[in-house]
Amino acid sequence: MDWDEGTRGARRGYHHGNLREALMKAALELISAKGPSGFTFAEAARAAGVSPAAPYRHYRDRDALMADVARHAFELFETKLRKAWNGGAPDPFAAFERVGHAYLAFAREAPAQYSAMFESGLSFQAFPELHIAGERAFDVLKEACAALVAKMPDDKKRPPVMMMALHIWSQAHGIASLFARGDEARRPIPMTPNDLLDAAVLIYLDGLGLRRKAP
């Protein structure tokens, strides 16, 4: 269901079955306006057009609502990354580049979701389903790194896939957080975020001895 539709439904009355979607939509709007820690559970209820008691039908507290928002965002994120990877076609290098661009695009196009995913300070122990959703998104990057490592010559020392994935994730996340966001937290730079990430990844891969063959 579209979250906009859910919000309109909740404002007509949560008995229509749209309360959860309406609260998630309201939370995203509040994150955009105030940040992931800048609003209360009651404010989310008010923004969704329901009574302060109504959210407790789905969530025990504000953190549970934020965890649901972040989990849903990670699921969308995974879908975007997996579509970009596309099984490594037509070759792992081109697909790897698309994954990086998809990472930056998500930060630009969905800054509230991005903030909910990475800036809410939620405990993975308290919300294991959130941890699972995050790991599934990260698995796409690990799969992409494994495909590149497999392309390394036999005489090269191959890096651990997990280590490589963490390095690439750090690069992509840092550039996304600083330069590619779709909100006021974005810093200006004299190049596109995609170009900056491509250059950083190229240097990193070159240091590993991973070079894409010229067509």
- Which pLDDT tens digit goes with each residue over 163-208? 999 999 999 999 999 999 998 889 999 999 999 999 999 999 999 9
Domain 62-208 has CATH 1.10.357.10: yes
Evaluate if residue 28 carries a pLDDT over 50: yes
27 and 48 Cβ atoms separated by less than 8 Å: no
Question: CATH 1.10.357.10 occupies which residues in the chain?
Answer: 62-208
Q: 212 pLDDT band (50/70/90 cuts)? A: confident
Mean pLDDT of 48-57: 94
Cβ neighbours of residue 78 under 8 Å, at least 6 residues apart?
133, 136, 137, 139, 140
* Other CB atoms within 10 A of residue 86 CB: 12
Geometric angle at alpha carbon 75, from 73 and 77, rounded to 5°: 70
- Rounded Cα distance between 27 and 64, Å, is 12
Least confident interval from 13-17, 122-126, 158-162:
13-17
Evaluate if residue 125 carries a pLDDT over 80: yes
Q: 10 pLDDT band (50/70/90 cuts)? A: very low
Peptide bond into 90 cis (omega under 30): yes
Q: 128 pLDDT band (50/70/90 cuts)? A: very high
- Which pLDDT tens digit goes with each residue over 129-165? 999 999 999 999 999 999 999 988 777 789 999 999 9
- Rounded Cα distance between 46 and 179, Å, is 33
The pTM of the full predicted model, rounded to 2 decimals, is 0.88
Q: Which amino acid is at 199?
A: A
Evaluate if residue 11 carries a pLDDT over 50: no
State the pLDDT at residue 169: 98
- Which pLDDT tens digit goes with each residue over 68-85? 999 999 999 999 999 999
Geometric angle at alpha carbon 130, from 175 and 167, rounded to 5°: 30
State the pLDDT at residue 214: 58
Q: 117 pLDDT band (50/70/90 cuts)? A: very high
